[in-house]
Amino acid sequence: MCNIRVQSYRLILLMLLLVSASAALCQVDTTVYDLNNGLIQVDTLVLIQDVIVTAVAAYGFYVQEQASGAYSGIFIYTGSANPPTVEIGNVCDIIGPYVEYNGFAEINMPNDAGSSITVTDPNGTPPEPIQVQAWQTRTSNPVEAEKWESVLVRVVNLEVLDIDLGYGAYCAVEFGYALNDTLRLDDQFDHSQPPAGTLMAQMIGVIRYSYGEFNTNPREDSDLIYLDVPTSKITWSDIKALF
Ligand SMILES: [Ca+2]
Ligand SMILES: [Ca+2]
């Protein structure tokens, strides 16, 4: 009787070992490039290594492959109940299921017990923003815009337009090119929206696909570099500098 019980325990232990081994086997070691190029099936548990944090939101964060370039970025969704603890510049290994949330590629943290975020180096150097023109970020050019989804980009020579796109999104137009296109900016991160007519030498942000549109999201006020000081931002030191 006792012998049977020991054997059944052994059988259960063996089964548990097999289950955990097959779970480990199902985790696919991949790259952000391969995820964004459609080489990995949705809902696959993936491992991406040595990616670097470029922006942190209230319910997730953006990482990029350190080699940067097209298809190098992805959003790591943690949920607002589980806000991210990483910081810009952290180098991470991440395990979680790869999902397409309404057409936006994510690794989804909270819904899988096997998910993890491991910071391997807290002091990495995030890649330089990639300079793009507004046409490359537009929803009407999805093949091009997909390359820059979740990538930190720079757009130069912009004028803010008096167009409210709703839900915190607003609009700017390029100047100085043969073909000046419009750019959608959005407010995933808190930043002071400049008034219409403001000229910007450059704007840095991450591109997010949300509610059927690609939008560029500045991470903070310092991501907007103004050509002229907007009237709402004039300080005493600006006025004193005039005399
Ligand atoms: Ca995508
Ligand atoms: Ca918004």
Q: What is the pLDDT of residues 107-148, one digit of tens each?
A: 998 766 789 999 999 999 999 999 999 999 999 999 999 999
Same-domain status, 68 and 107:
yes
Among residues 99, 121, 143, the one where a domain terminates is 121
- Domain assignment of residue 65, given as a range: 28-121
Q: For residue 224, how far is its CA from the centre of ligand 1 (angstroms)?
A: 25
**Exposure of 15 in the CB half-sphere (CA atoms within 13 A):** 6
Residue 150 lies in a domain: yes
Same-domain status, 211 and 138:
yes
pLDDT (average), residues 49-55 = 98
Q: For residue 102, how far is its CA from the centre of ligand 1 (angstroms)?
A: 9
Ligand number nearest CA of 209 is: 1
Same-domain status, 56 and 99:
yes
Same-domain status, 106 and 137:
no
Among residues 87, 121, 155, the one where a domain terminates is 121
Q: In 3-state terms, what secondary structure has residue 6?
A: helix
Residue 1 lies in a domain: no
Question: Residues 158, 196: contact at Cβ < 8 Å?
Answer: no
- Across-strand partners of 164? 170
Q: Total structural domains in the chain? A: 2
Q: For residue 25, how far is its CA from the centre of ligand 1 (angstroms)?
A: 26
CATH number of the domain residue 183 falls in: 2.40.50.140
Q: For residue 56, how far is its CA from the centre of ligand 2 (angstroms)?
A: 15
Same-domain status, 140 and 103:
no
pLDDT (average), residues 152-178 = 95
Look at residue 115 in the predicted model and tell me its pLDDT.
92
Q: Which of these, 215, 210, 207, 208, lies nearest to 185 by C-alpha position? A: 215
- Could you give the angle at the alpha carbon of 171 between the alpha carbons of 193 and 76, nearest 5°? 75
Q: For the stretch 139-153, what's the b/e string if a residue is b when 16 or more beta carbons lie within 10 angstroms of its beta carbon? A: eeeeebbbbbbbbbb
Cα–Cα distance, 216 to 62 (Å, whole number) = 13
Residue 242, pLDDT > 50, answer no
Q: Which of these, 67, 85, 222, 55, lies nearest to 150 by C-alpha position? A: 55
Q: For residue 35, how far is its CA from the centre of ligand 1 (angstroms)?
A: 9
Residue 161, pLDDT > 70, answer yes
Q: For residue 57, how far is its CA from the centre of ligand 2 (angstroms)?
A: 12
Q: What is the pTM of this model?
A: 0.84
